[in-house]
A = this chain, B = another copy of it.
């Protein structure tokens, strides 16, 4: 385990110079730096992150708070954040925080139905900044996070007072609904917003967009069909609708996974899509095309990349120095209707 002293001795300079040389600070003569680098290399010297962190007060790590790891949106975000951070020499501290009652991975163990309060202790003194992915934050948690006093960016939604990047979820809900209305549908329902407080914002916002579009068209918006966002939830919802005999002519789904479940169960029940029922999703999930799902696509990697870039900018030496608190920016990225064959003209239905 070579230490900085070994390198200093081998090079005939002080440890301070070694430190400066290896970190690429300007104030080192090139020949000196070269010798130091050579010695470090040949000794296999790797700086101790712990020691550097203790001495400098910076950790060179960014916290990544997420409610899920394996769901598409989150997985892509994590992948992107990790890749970008690493090019900057930063580590990612992954913290998975269940959004609510759910089964943990592994042989059937369950967490209590209410998620434990987010404790900032997981992050304090361990990261220089934090990125939060679409985690439903209760006000108290937001306070706790802000109290950490470092860069904080939210991805996949909007949080008052926080810098955030995402899409315009209301507009997405509206566009999806308008697409169906434009096809002549009048009985359009929305699937995917659970109405309990503290729930995911995007589905709720998309539901708002749905209601706006319905109202603007002079139609009565329906109650949201409550469902979580997985394939299984989509299937369950359709089974329920079929059992009750209240299948609408068109369905706006909060996301593609859900829509794929809906589609599958409809087709399996012999319902013609889009002949009898039209279905639209949100995401443009990689599997959406396989199911011929019309959807509103959103750029996920780009959202994560922008958030990471903001964080890196804020961490650049000199930034935020003069008490220049960055204005809470909010960037909404473009979305786009992707036409496939799960939506079609409304049919005159037998009464």
Residues of A that sit less than 8 Å from B by CB: 1, 46-51, 53-54, 59, 68-70, 72, 75-76, 78-80, 82-84, 86, 91-96, 104-107, 121, 124-126, 231, 260-261, 264, 286-287, 290-291, 301-302, 304-305
With a CB–CB cut-off of 8 A, which chain B residues contact A51?
Answer: 50, 54
Shortest CB-to-CB span from A260 to chain B, Å, is: 7
- Whether A125 lies near B46 (C-beta < 8 A) is yes
With a CB–CB cut-off of 8 A, which chain B residues contact A261?
Answer: 290
Shortest CB-to-CB span from A237 to chain B, Å, is: 15
- Chain A to chain B contacts (Cβ below 8 Å), 16 pairs: A1-B125, A50-B51, A50-B53, A51-B54, A70-B79, A82-B95, A83-B106, A86-B96, A91-B93, A91-B126, A105-B304, A106-B304, A107-B301, A107-B302, A261-B290, A264-B290
With a CB–CB cut-off of 8 A, which chain B residues contact A53?
Answer: 50
Which of B82, B106, B124 has a CB less than 8 Å from the CB of A96? Answer: B82
Complex Cα distance A107/B304, Å?
11
- Whether B48 lies near A125 (C-beta < 8 A) is yes
Complex Cα distance A191/B38, Å?
47
Most interface-central of A75, A84, A92, A264 (chain B CB within 10 A): A75
Which of B46, B83, B96, B125 has a CB less than 8 Å from the CB of A104? Answer: B83
Shortest CB-to-CB span from A27 to chain B, Å, is: 25
Residue of B nearest to A58 (CB): B50
CB contact under 8 A between A69 and B59, given known A93-B91, A94-B92, A107-B302: no
